[in-house]
Structure 1
Amino acid sequence: MPLSVIIITYNEERNIGRCLESLTGIADDILVVDSFSTDKTEEICQQYSARFIQRRFDGYSNQKRFATEHAKFDYVLSLDADEALSPELKTSILNEKNKWSKPCYSFNIRNHYCGKAIRHCGWYPDKHVRLFNRSVTNWTQKEVHESIAVNDNKAVMHLKGDLLHFTCSSITEHQEKEKKYARMNADILAKKGKNILWITPYIKGAFRFFKTYVIKLGILDGYYGFIISKTLAKSSFYKYSWARNAIRKK
């Protein structure tokens, strides 16, 4: 039975080719929804015969909902441009394509950081539902860290194999990405209007470091485990600090 793949992009010439290559032999429809890239993203997508639609970015959830609605087939696999199917996961999906026994499918995401596979930090196994029947479910309305709404865990089958996520090629890239997420999360928090104490950003940041580095065993990932833990801690600090400042200005 047919499968659509949706991908949202913005200036992803570095990653999109690897992503599309991994879909060879499995995708019956590839839709790329792009936020007006200025690099070679569109050119590369055309080489793989992907449908290419440009749309103003108005949030991850909205962008992916739009892509899901414009997919040709009901079963939809959602990927980010910096992700690729491992051979084992590809085989698992191909086996399910013959029958589609469940409305939702989950699998583990293996994150690669500066070229190194991260095995701890809460980053693996990082299980997500990314393959689903759009006639049954769709994306949540969260502005950040969007996900597929699942009300019944019995409706989900976990597939063997990893989705390979090449998250950041440099520490600076990760720091900038986390600052962006912190700003978005701070805006969401500020809209709630709840009072935030001056000490809260420090407590949240310290706990995030302890959780990632100690509880989630980031220490076992060596140097990059420390850097990831420190970067996530700063992101948490910024989130609550920026939200507090925004609330005080109201």
Structure 2
Amino acid sequence: MPAVPLSVVLITFNEEANIGRCLAALGELADEVVVVDSGSTDRTVAICRQYGARVVEHPFAGYVAQKNFATAQARYDHVLQLDADEVLTDALRREIEQIKARWQHAGYTLPRLTNYCGQWVRHGGWYPDRKLRLYDRRCGAWQGQLLHERYEVQPGQTVGQLRADLLHYSYPTIESHVQQLNRFTSIGAQELAARGKKASWLQLLLKPSGKFWHLYLLRGGLLDGFAGLSIAALSAWGVFLKYAKLRVIHRSATRAGQ
């Protein structure tokens, strides 16, 4: 049985700091690379074309819609979807080559190992952080709300697991973590508001501390040293931000309705 052809698909916006490293690590794995860019103003598009990627311009429509659009642009049905700040290890690339030669499932999950300010994080609930990124697009679709998108296969379909790590260079600095938290907590608050949720004083007081101790003690974040402490503390702050923003959204809506 011949190996199935594989499309590697990415969505990008101003990723010149990451995209070259991601594309270089693909080696000869991809039978095509498709990048859906949502109006980058830096060198992202130029770098993608240097690596031979086909670039499709498309306004950002939300993570779920954008990734479904990107998947639809692929020439082949078997797809590996990556983010620009992710990198295949040599071991993972070899493992995917083996899967291409004997594809058996609707999709495959990959263990993701995150680099936080130069340190690999293996505790605090951050590892193995499995993501379903290798899939037959005929057997599923991207699902979710405004945030936390995920690929889901159709009922009755099977999912395999790969062993080698996908490297995730998500947070080069504390500032980058803070900036992402601010952006994502705004989206998270909007999601909760759309579902009719409200933020009580009890949630504002208890949920952040609960998040900290859950990550730092119960999930072993303390074993990652400074990175584990930073992740737990900032994650707790993110919980407070989300519910504080939800409270402001609700109060603004109440005043507007008066």
Which TM-score applies when normalising by structure 1? 0.97
Q: Give the aligned partner of residue 9 of structure 1.
A: 12
Tell me if 1:29 matches 2:32: yes
Moved more, 1-10 or 199-208: 199-208
Are the equivalent residues in 1 in contact too, given 2:106–2:135 (CA < 8 A)? yes
Are the equivalent residues in 2 in contact too, given 1:62–1:141 (CA < 8 A)? no
Shift of 1:128: 1.3
Are the equivalent residues in 2 in contact too, given 1:74–1:134 (CA < 8 A)? yes
Matches within 5 A, 1:54-65: 54-65=57-68
- Structure 1 counterpart SS, 2:201: coil
* Alignment equivalent of 1:164, drawn from 167, 178, 181: 167
Are the equivalent residues in 1 in contact too, given 2:106–2:158 (CA < 8 A)? yes
* Alignment equivalent of 1:205, drawn from 208, 226, 229: 208
Residue segments in structure 1 that go unaligned for 5+ positions in a row: none
* Alignment equivalent of 1:180, drawn from 158, 180, 183: 183
Matches within 5 A, 1:93-242: 93-150=96-153, 155-242=158-245
CA distance in 2, matches of 1:151, 1:214: 36
Are the equivalent residues in 1 in contact too, given 2:198–2:246 (CA < 8 A)? no
CA distance in 2, matches of 1:62, 1:229: 31
Shift of 1:203: 1.3
Per-residue CA deviations over 1:69-100 (Å, capped at 9, x if unaligned) read 11111011110000011111111100011121
Are the equivalent residues in 1 in contact too, given 2:139–2:154 (CA < 8 A)? no
Per-residue CA deviations over 1:46-72 (Å, capped at 9, x if unaligned) read 111101112111211111010001111
User: Which runs of structure 1 show a deviation greater than 4 angstroms over 4 or more consecutive aligned residues?
Assistant: 151-154
Per-residue CA deviations over 1:3-50 (Å, capped at 9, x if unaligned) read 001111111111101100111110011111111111111111011110
Instruction: Let me know the Cα RMSD of the aligned residues.
Output: 1.3
Q: Give the aligned partner of residue 69 of structure 2.
A: 66
Which TM-score applies when normalising by structure 2? 0.94
* Alpha carbons of structure 1 residues 195 and 114: separation in structure 2 relative to 1, 3 Å: closer
Identity across aligned pairs (percent)?
40
Moved more, 186-195 or 119-128: 186-195
How many matched pairs? 250
CA distance in 1, matches of 2:194, 2:157: 35
Shift of 1:153: 8.1
Q: Give the aligned partner of residue 88 of structure 2.
A: 85
Tell me if 1:249 matches 2:246: no
CA distance in 1, matches of 2:36, 2:43: 14
